[in-house]
């Protein structure tokens, strides 16, 4: 049984994130989506809300589990039995940040291997921060996030 861990802030989850999870669904036996809970940050959605949103969006994928975590990613990977961490790369600008994190994770635990999935080109410009900005300013994000997330944004940012 090979488990992949797809970690992230997911504040909120976007179609780009779900695209990465979907790729993993067919490649791995089990996919754990790890929602980071960082007590020093004030996200728009609580960790519990982000977990619930991803669960709703991923409900048709039977091998996906969603959980939040605090602390080191490598410790959470060990806890859920994942030796592979998968992240999406939108463009070369993501690479610097992602390679640094993957090398730090490798330093912390030689057991964990980071793998990268190229996101769909049409999601190359998509980020949770931009989605929040557009939603806050009254723009439509219906094409950028799954319907449950669009509804949650409308409620949180009327
Ligand atoms: O969606 P993001 O913001 O790119 O996700 C970043 C995340 C959650 C993968 C990263 O912040 C993380 O791994 N946090 C856990 C803390 C940790 O392990 N830090 C040291 C390794 S760089």
**Candidate list 40, 41, 107, 129, residue with the active-site label:** 41
Name the residue with the closest Cα to ligand 1, atom 12: 73
Planar angle of CA 141, 13, 138, nearest 5 degrees = 25
Which atom, in ligand 1's list, is nearest to the CA of 101?
A: 22
Q: Is residue 57 within 8 Å of 13, Cβ to Cβ?
A: yes
**Model confidence band, residue 26 (pLDDT cutoffs 50, 70, 90):** very high
The pLDDT assigned to 158 comes to 79
Planar angle of CA 148, 130, 100, nearest 5 degrees = 105
Pairwise CA distance, residues 135 & 132, whole Å? 5
Q: Of 65, 9, 76, which is closest to residue 36 (Cα–Cα)?
A: 9
| Residue to mutate, 4, 5, 8, ligand 1, most ligand atoms under 8 Å from C-beta | 8
Average pLDDT over residues 73-82: 98
| Active-site residue, 17 included | yes
The pLDDT assigned to 52 comes to 98
Average pLDDT over residues 7-29: 98
Residues 6+ apart with CB under 8 A from 137: none
Pairwise CA distance, residues 117 & 87, whole Å? 6
**Model confidence band, residue 110 (pLDDT cutoffs 50, 70, 90):** very high
Residues of the chain above pLDDT 90, percent: 99
Burial of 73 (0-12, 13-18, 19+ CB in 10 A): buried
End-to-end CA distance of the chain: 44
Average pLDDT over residues 32-39: 97
Average pLDDT taken over every residue of the chain: 97
Paired strand residues for 86: 115
Residues of the chain above pLDDT 70, percent: 100
Average pLDDT over residues 142-157: 97
Q: Is residue 98 within 8 Å of 118, Cβ to Cβ?
A: no
| Active-site residue, 37 included | no
H-run or E-run covering 157:
none
Map out the domains of the chain with their CATH numbers: 3-156 (3.40.50.620)
What is the pTM assigned to this prediction? 0.97
Q: Tens digit of pLDDT for each residue in 123-139?
A: 999 999 999 999 999 99
Average pLDDT over residues 100-115: 97
Report the residue count for the chain.
Answer: 158
Planar angle of CA 118, 53, 27, nearest 5 degrees = 35
| Residue to mutate, 7, 78, 89, 123, ligand 1, most ligand atoms under 8 Å from C-beta | 7
Who lines ligand 1 at CB under 6 A? 7-9, 36, 72-73, 101, 104-105
Which atom, in ligand 1's list, is nearest to the CA of 69?
A: 15
């Amino acid at each position: 049984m090979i488990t992949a861990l797809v970690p992230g802030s997911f504040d909120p989850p976007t179609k780009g994130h779900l695209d990465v999870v979907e790729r993993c669904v067919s490649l791995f036996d089990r996919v754990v989506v790890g929602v980071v809970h960082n007590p020093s940050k004030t996200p728009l959605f609580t960790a519990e809300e982000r977990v619930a949103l991803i669960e709703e969006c991923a409900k048709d994928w039977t091998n996906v589990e969603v959980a939040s975590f605090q602390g080191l990613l490598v410790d959470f990977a060990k806890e859920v039995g994942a030796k592979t961490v998968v992240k999406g790369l939108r463009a070369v600008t993501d690479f610097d940040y992602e390679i640094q994190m993957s090398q730090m994770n490798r330093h912390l635990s030689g057991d964990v291997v980071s793998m990268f999935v190229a996101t769909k080109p049409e999601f190359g410009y998509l980020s949770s921060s931009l989605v929040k900005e557009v939603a806050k300013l009254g723009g439509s994000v219906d094409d950028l996030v799954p319907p449950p997330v669009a509804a949650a944004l409308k409620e949180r940012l009327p």
